[in-house]
Every structure is written in C-alpha cells, then in structure tokens.
Structure 1
Amino acid sequence: MACRGYFLALDERCTARLLACDSDDALRDVLEEFDMNADMSDECVVDKAWDGIHRCLTEGGLGSDDGTYPLNAVVLGGRHLYRGDAYIVCHNSAGEVREIAAALDEADLEQFAAVFWSLDAGDYGAYIDQHGLTYLLDYLKDVTAFYHRAATAGWSTVFVVDQ
C-alpha cells in the first residue's frame, strides 16, 4: 500500500455518519463518499509526510500515546475508528480540533527540526536531510492551516492512511 495520508474536516452531520459506522467496511464506504464529494468536507492531503510530522511533534515516536496532548493528537491522536490492520482512521472532536489548532500555533519549529535531525533513518524509513525537513515543514504549514479552518468552522477531523 502507498501509506499516503489525508485529513478531512467534517461538519456535525458528517461526523455523526462517520461515528455511526458499525464495521470497517461501512467506515471505508462513508470515507470514500466524503472523499469523493468536495462539498461535504475540507481536505488536507499530506502524502507520506504524516509519519515524520507525527514523529517530530511527539519527540520521535510513532505511537498514538507518544508525546503530549494536544500535539500528539494532530495525526494519530483522538479516537481510533478502524478496527482492522489495513487502515488507520483517527477522529478528533471539534473541541479537540480547537485545542490542536491552538497548539500548532505555539509549536516550536526549532524543536521540531531538532527531533527530525535526531530520528533514526532506519526506523523512520526515509532520508534525514534538508530536503526531508523542508518536505515536512511544508506539509506542517498545510496541516496547521487545515486545523485552523476546521476550528473556525467548528468541525471535527479525521486522519486516514492505508497501511
């Protein structure tokens, strides 16, 4: 699989539909519908940068419990909705989105870069070089803007990536 991730910001109606899914198949169907209908949500595609962004916001870890809230909730935090192994689907409530947006404003980019330079390239699975850092910082700007749009609208978010 490609491991390319994306975020969706969802209004109350879409959030209710997402949270009502009683199986992984139903969840995939609803997410596909949301993804295909631009009027239903706001989207932020992050390619494979989600992995590095999460690690750099959580002192290098990739687990959902690594780091501290709310920065550890940007990518892999919140409620995990997918039960199987094929996808990761993490939902943050509208309240959590507001806290995450505020935390992203306060994020220390020097600390972010320091964590990036300290990553183990073998564990991370990518090169640790200036191009890689620039790649992550560019996507982090997009993610920050996305969270601000969602917070302003009062929407929840969901992060989706195939494994």
Structure 2
Amino acid sequence: MLGVHFAITEDQERSLLAADGDDDAVAEILEELEESWDDDQLKVDTDKAWIPIHRCLTDGTLDPDGGAYPLSHAVLGGRHLHEEFYVVYVAAAEVRDVAEALRPLDEDWFRDRFADALRGEDDDFEYTWTNYVDLRGFYDRAAASGRAVLFTAT
C-alpha cells in the first residue's frame, strides 16, 4: 500500500466529513481528489515508508491509536473515514500540533526510534529518513496554509 498525504481545502474537508460513514462516497471523493490534485507543495508521497515512519513516531506498531498525540497523528492517527482502506483525516488545529512536534526530531532521534521500532527487521533507514523529512516539510506547509490533512493508503 502506497501512502499519500494531502493538505485539503475547506471545501474538500466539508465534502469528506459529510460523506463519513458512506465508503462509496468517500472513495468517490478521494478518487476525484487524486485525479485533480495540482499542488505538489501541499501533497507528499511517502510510498511504503509511511509504515516505518508511523512505527517510529508511535509505539512501534501500526495501531492507529498507538503512541502519544500529536506524533501519533502524523500518519495513522486521526479520524478514519473508510472501512476497507486508510483514509485518515487530521483537522487543521491538529495539523499545527503535528507540525510543531515533528520539527525538533532530528536524524539521531529518528535513527534511535527506527532501531527500537523495527528491531532487526530488514528496512532501509535512508529511504525512511528521506520520506520522513519530506513528510515533516509537508506538515510545516500544511500548517502554514491552515489546512487539514488527509492521509491515504490504498
């Protein structure tokens, strides 16, 4: 499953929240969003790195409720809008909290968490770190824009 974060507009946010509970409507809105997206500064692809990133930022698991807020909300924490795949909404106020929490996490901190969270698993630190840095910058831009974030992995 490939992960993508979008910093969504207020109109997109309203549509998604109104569709919550209707998987078909959420999927349709998501498909339209993906096809029409034109602002690369307010989108970040984390490929498969979203998995180890979430594990590093939380309790080492893929549990959406694992770990502490606000780091838990960088990937899987937040409001889940679809039953079959990840469509996770993070409100604009939470986006600011996530951005602030991610800012001070340097490579040494992340390397330590990576070693703890992925004990002995064959994963690529540099790949994960590069995607994490992109995600951190994305959250800064989303927070500065006052936007909510939508994470998808399908």
Query: RMSD of the TM alignment (CA)?
Result: 1.7
* Structure 1 position 66, deviation (Å): 1.3
* Corresponding residue number in structure 1 for 2:109: 111
Do structure 1's residue 25 and structure 2's residue 17 form an aligned pair? no
* Structure 1 position 108, deviation (Å): 4.7
Q: Is the 8 A contact 1:11 1:154 kept in 2?
A: no
For 2:152 and 2:82, how far apart are their aligned partners in 1? 9
Do structure 1's residue 7 and structure 2's residue 14 form an aligned pair? no
SS at match of 2:60: coil
TM-score (norm: length of structure 2): 0.91
Where does 1:68-107 land on structure 2 (aligned, <5 Å)?
A: 68-83=68-83, 85=84, 87-107=85-105
Q: In structure 1, give the amino acid aligned to 2:55.
A: R
> What is the number of equivalent residue pairs in this alignment?
151
* Structure 1 position 97, deviation (Å): 0.3
* Corresponding residue number in structure 2 for 1:142: 134
Unaligned residue ranges in structure 1 (runs of 5+): none
Unaligned residue ranges in structure 2 (runs of 5+): none
For 1:38 and 1:73, how far apart are their aligned partners in 2? 23
Indicate how the Cα distance of structure 1 residues 17 and 136 shifts in structure 2: closer, same or farther if over 3 A, else same. same
Q: Is the 8 A contact 1:14 1:40 kept in 2?
A: no
Q: In structure 2, give the amino acid aligned to 1:62.
A: L
Identity of aligned residues (%): 38
SS at match of 1:106: coil
Q: In structure 2, give the amino acid aligned to 1:57.
A: L
Q: In structure 1, give the amino acid aligned to 2:56.
A: C
SS at match of 1:77: coil
Greater mean deviation of Cα atoms: 48-57 or 63-72: 63-72
For 1:90 and 1:147, how far apart are their aligned partners in 2? 15
TM-score (norm: length of structure 1): 0.86
